[in-house]
Every structure is written in structure tokens, then in C-alpha cells.
Structure 1
Amino acid sequence: MIRKANAVWRGTGRDGTGDLTTASGVLSLTPYSYKTRFESAPGTNPEELIAAAHAGCFTMALAFGLQQAGFTPEELRTEAAVSLDPDGAGFKISRSALTLRAKVPGLDAAKFQELAKGAEQNCPVSKVLNAEITLDAQLEG
């Protein structure tokens, strides 16, 4: 399986602008720039897209793990907070902090933590990130 996306950039790093398009069409000429990455201008940025990918990948991996263990979640809500930090003359993604809130009938806390940790370690996005990954997983009543 191969998934594709395209980036187009016009101008300098600080003053230029670009757009991102995915083969699925979910992103279509979606703007990104210095201002969307380092300030709060409308548009997206690579770190936000990595956060979305990590949250989605982890949550789906957990859903499969729960299913294999015989549980059906009512709801799994995950936030991924990706940190972009200075690294020499550039930057690096240093951390992805996952915060999970889950409603899973009949699941005890110990089994929940085991399944959540397994999903965090084994989802493909976690495996590709060269960054610290943390997980705050809470089972809600």
C-alpha cells in the first residue's frame, strides 16, 4: 500500500507560501506557510498533519486491539500534541504526547492500560516517529 501527497512551494522560506494536496482529495491545495507553521495564520503545517496522523493511527490500532480482546468501545477520543523544538540551526519533532479518553463497557483498568500501551507502541505512525512518545490513557465510566 502506498499513499501519496504533494507539496508545492513558491518563494522564500519565510515569505513564501505553499499548498498541500493528497491523492484522496481530503487536502486539496490546502495552504501552508511560515505563518501557518510558526504563527497562527489560517492553514495547516506538517506538525499538525503528523499529530492528526498519530492520533488517528493510534486510535484505530487501539480499536482493533480492543476488538481482538472481545471489547467494543463506545468512544475513543485521542489528542496528539506534537512538539517542534530548536535543533542546532534547524528544528526537530521531539515529542508526540497522546492523550486518550475512552469509554469501553466491561473493560478493567489494567487490561485497558495494557491494550492502550500496545497500540501506542505498535501503530505504524508511532514506529516511524523518531521522537519521545508519551501516553496518558484514562478509562471513563
Structure 2
Amino acid sequence: MPRIVRDADVAWEGNLARGHGALTAATSGAFIGLSYSLPTRIGDPEGKTSPEELLAAAHGGCFTMSLAGELTGAGTPPGRLDVHCRITMDEVEGRGHLIVHSALDVRADVPDVDEEAFAAAVDAAHQGCSFSSLLRDAGVGIDITTTLES
């Protein structure tokens, strides 16, 4: 795989408590001006995003692609993969608020694969997912639950 570089632009106005920011995908333009703020980060999102939500999307997206690649390489390409990722930030004594956990809930429709082969593909995908590696190396706990529907 070639070296991949992507950019995002972030703007912030005001203090932490009452300020607000905007996130833009500079490389792709896929999103422009996604709003975020401290009140919507720690409370009701009110239609705004957060760094944790974006991390959940990134981890879930990377893992899903990794799993599709593992299954395809094994000759059992998926019909459909649905992955829900939940990132948890919590206070860690003496260190402040940190990302402490990521939970991946995988629902898969994979014709002609048995549970053992699917579990092996999930494990290989987890090992090969760059976001799983990033989180593991940072000491973040990762749990994966799976449901094979075919």
C-alpha cells in the first residue's frame, strides 16, 4: 500500500467553555465546517460532531475495510458488513480525560464462511487495522463482538 497523507483544517473561536470550532476535510472536501464545541462534546450533541465521534468513524471504517480485505483474500468476500464503533473517553486518575476504550460490534453476511474462518478473519483484520494498532499502542482497550448472519 502506498504512503497515505490526508489533511484536515480546524478553526476555533473563543474560550473553551463558550467557544466553538469547525472541522473541514481539506484533502477530499467530504465535509466542510462540521461544528463542535465543549458543551456538545460532553453533553447533547445537538447535531454537532466531536473528536471522539470522528475517531469512532475512523476506527470503524478502517476495521471494516480490513475485514473485507481479509475475507476477500480468503476467497469468501462479504455480502455486507455492518460495524458499529463506540469510543469511550473517561477520566484517568492523574492524567485527565483520555480515550480508554473502543467497542466494535460487527454484523456480517458472508456466504460460504464458517464461524472458525470468520473469527480468524476478524482477528487478522484487527491486527491489520492501523487504527486498532494506534489505539492498542496507546493502551486503549478494544472489544469486538461479532454476529455472522449467513
Task: Name the TM-score, length of structure 1 as normaliser.
Answer: 0.96
Q: Give me the whole-angstrom Cα distance separating, in 2, the residues matched to 1:64 and 1:89.
A: 37
Question: Do the aligned residues in 2 keep the contact of 1:117 with 1:135 (CA within 8 Å)?
Answer: no
AA partner of residue 132 (structure 1): G
AA partner of residue 120 (structure 1): H
Question: Do the aligned residues in 2 keep the contact of 1:75 with 1:102 (CA within 8 Å)?
Answer: yes
Residue of structure 2 equivalent to 1:17: 20
Question: Do the aligned residues in 2 keep the contact of 1:78 with 1:100 (CA within 8 Å)?
Answer: yes
Q: Give me the whole-angstrom Cα distance separating, in 1, the residues matched to 2:56 and 2:127.
A: 16
Structure 2 unaligned spans of 5+ = none
Residue of structure 2 equivalent to 1:91: 97
Cα deviation for residue 104 of structure 1 reads: 0.3
Alignment of 1:1-141 (within 5 A): 1-23=4-26, 24-40=28-44, 41-87=46-92, 88=94, 90-129=96-135, 130=138, 131-141=140-150
AA partner of residue 76 (structure 2): F
What is the count of residue pairs matched by the alignment? 141
Q: Give me the whole-angstrom Cα distance separating, in 2, the residues matched to 1:112 and 1:20.
A: 37
Q: Give me the whole-angstrom Cα distance separating, in 1, the residues matched to 2:122 and 2:63.
A: 9
Deviations 1:47-89 (CA, angstroms, capped at 9, x unpaired): 0000000110000000010111001211100011000101236
Q: Give me the whole-angstrom Cα distance separating, in 2, the residues matched to 1:121 and 1:98.
A: 14
Secondary structure of the residue that 2:49 maps to in structure 1?
Answer: coil
Q: Which moved more, 1:53-62 or 1:33-42?
A: 33-42
Q: Give me the whole-angstrom Cα distance separating, in 2, the residues matched to 1:48 and 1:65.
A: 26
Cα deviation for residue 117 of structure 1 reads: 1.3
Task: Name the TM-score, length of structure 2 as normaliser.
Answer: 0.90
Q: Give me the whole-angstrom Cα distance separating, in 1, the residues matched to 2:38 and 2:51.
A: 11
* Runs of 4+ displaced beyond 3 Å: none
Structure 1 unaligned spans of 5+ = none
AA partner of residue 10 (structure 2): A
AA partner of residue 64 (structure 2): T
Secondary structure of the residue that 1:59 maps to in structure 2?
Answer: helix
